[in-house]
Structure 1
Amino acid sequence: MNLPLNPRANLQGAIDLGALAAAREAQQRAALAPKTKNSYVIDVDMSNFEADVIQQSMTVPVVVDLWAQWCEPCKQLSPILEKLAADYAGRFVLAKIDIDANPELSQAFQVQSIPMVLAFVGGQPLGLFQGALPEVQIRPVIDQVLAAAAQAGVSGIAVASESTESDKDPASESLSETHDEAPSDPRFDAAETAIEAGDWDSAIAAYKVILKDAPKDPVARIGMLNVELMKRTDDMDFESVLASTDDSCESQLKRADALFLMNDYDESFACIIEIVRANIGDQRSLAQERLLALFDIAGTSHPSVTKARLALSNALF
């Protein structure tokens, strides 16, 4: 089994954040379902991969978490993904694959480092990200998967399986308890409500209120940057943007946003760095500001960010 995991190839023309409206409707249906202690998390191996990942993704998006017992970043990421699976209440299923116990699947996915996260929509794999990202960076990725799924007509709601204490993954048990017990921060309620409604301006305004009192709040800052990105790309025709030969600053910034949302960080950053290199004044300042924002969303420790920072320095000096 050889699965293509190039996110640019799989997501080009597929992620249209305008489709979030349909995905939001599915979320509302899920919100009306009775709340239980059931789990939307499943363990997957070769015996159930075809049924629980490939076939299930025909009706419900499946997010795949590739992990191992010895992997410390996996222990940070797994409980976040499990919490999101519960929060989204069946709009996607989280499938966990232990790569040590399933070397055939690890080889099929061409795993080079873990944690590694991808999704299946309509039986097709979509590369998402590698490494342990914080929840504030993962939520927009999940929203993008759900938007692509809604556009493809995959917007079913999964039926949760019964969860018991013995079902808990030892890689994430203690951290899961931390997530379960942590109370929500009411300061973010307005922003979250606006995001669920697709009201990007109100969400940005809500984050600005938080940042006025706490200018360095990382959750609010990254949250606002993510919402600004979603606002810029809300009605974007990704295929047209990527096919365009217009080399203007505005067009290249749009192209950079599209590439970024498809996780092609290297090409996205390269587009903006070229603007910095070729321009002076306001256009250079705008491009530099946009690039730094994308750096923050991607995460300062991401290898593409490290490489792009050096390229930016060379372009500036």
Structure 2
Amino acid sequence: MTEPTFQADVIERSLQVPVVVEFWSPRSPESQALAPVLLQLSTEYAGKFLLARIDIDANQQLAQAVGVQTVPLVIAVLRGQVVPLFQGAVSDPEARQYLEQLLTVAVANGITGRTDPVGPVGDAAEAPAEPEVDPRYEAAENAVGAGDLDGAIEAYEALLQETPSDAEAKAGLARVQLVKRTRDVPAEVRTRAADNPEDIEAQQLVADVDLMGGHVEDAFARLIKTIQLTSGDDRNTVRLHLLELFEVVGADDERVVKARRRLMAALF
């Protein structure tokens, strides 16, 4: 990836598929540690996002334009807009959680295309061989790619009827349901939620919108507060909704771990 090709390889491609941009340097040990993680994920996700690697030493003007201060720095580009992801070397599970949230946001914004899984764009080491797509999830993933959220929900629900403990199907179902709920949220829902703290529908919708926007802790805090203010069936409805959002973010995410502790305290 070079400065002259940035417009075509990143900005224009981001209109159809999420582009994950890694700013790195061969002088940075953290960059060397992160590279294989992102390379492996780029092949594992089989074209759901495009990985672009930019050597800041060879592309100094581009790095300055983006405001890169330390590496590695990883951002995403959706419809030409920058979405911050993370800075520094992260583990495979952590990187996977950021990518899952990015893909959820992408679907919500109508970006459901795929790129040919031919490896990263830019000056990268050769990517690992691409694994075969698990056929169990093919119908659901194809439906998501086509923008057919109802079809994706039906496919994930069918998988869970056969294998109720399938964690990937649970997470996929939760993500698609979140996207569907947030497609046509009325603008006045925040005012409604602020004026009516016990309006569980409004609180859940605002939490959904916050999660889609990356404000994960705000979404969790809102629902936990609502649980504290409600009782009976309403409380249980909000609790189940919060557990669904936990599925979207990922059970190992530290924000989920902390929120689970707060949930237990709120319930008991």
TM-score in terms of structure 2 length: 0.72
Question: How far off is 1:228 after superposition?
Answer: 1.4
> Which of 285, 291, 300 matches 2:251?
300
Stretches of structure 1 that go unaligned for 5 or more consecutive residues are 1-41
- 2:223 is matched with which residue? 272
Which of 71, 76, 82 is residue 118 of structure 1 equivalent to?
76
Indicate if the aligned counterparts of 2:55 and 2:123 stay in contact, CA closer than 8 A: no
Counterpart Cα distance in 2 of 1:77 and 1:191 = 24
Correspondence for 1:8: none
Cα distance in 1 for partners of 2:216, 2:60 equals: 28
Deviation at 1:264, TM superposition (A): 0.7
Number of positions where the alignment pairs a residue of Structure 1 with one of Structure 2: 249
Give the fraction of aligned pairs with identical amino acids, expressed as a percent.
Answer: 30
C-alpha separation between the residues in 2 aligned to 1:202 and 1:305? 28
1:98: how far off? 5.3
Shift in Å, 1:299: 1.8
The 8 Å contact of residues 85 and 98 in structure 2, kept in 1 or not, is answered as no
Of 38, 42, 54, the residue aligned with 1:77 is 38
Q: Distance in 2 between matches of 1:296 and 1:187?
A: 19
Q: CA RMSD, aligned part only?
A: 4.0
How many angstroms apart in 1 are the aligned matches of 2:113 and 2:147? Answer: 20
Give the conservation status (yes or no) of the 8 Å contact 1:211–1:220: yes
Higher relative contact order (CA 8 A, sep 6+): 1
Which of 33, 39, 47 matches 1:87?
47
* Deviating more after overlay: 257-266 vs 216-225: 216-225
- TM-score, length-normalised on structure 1? 0.62
Aligned with 2:251: secondary structure? coil
The one-letter code matched in structure 1 to 2:51 is: L
Runs (5+) with no aligned partner, structure 2: none
Determine helix, strand or coil for the equivalent of 2:184: coil
2:151 is equivalent to residue 202 of structure 1 = yes
For the 8 Å contact 2:220–2:259, the answer to whether it is kept is yes
Amino acid at match of 1:119: V
Secondary structure of residue in 1 paired with 2:205: helix
- 1:140-289 alignment, distance < 5 Å: 141-142=102-103, 144-145=105-106, 148=109, 168-169=124-125, 173=127, 176-177=128-129, 180=130, 182-237=131-186, 239-242=187-190, 244=192, 245-247=194-196, 248-289=199-240
Q: How far did 1:93 drift?
A: 4.7
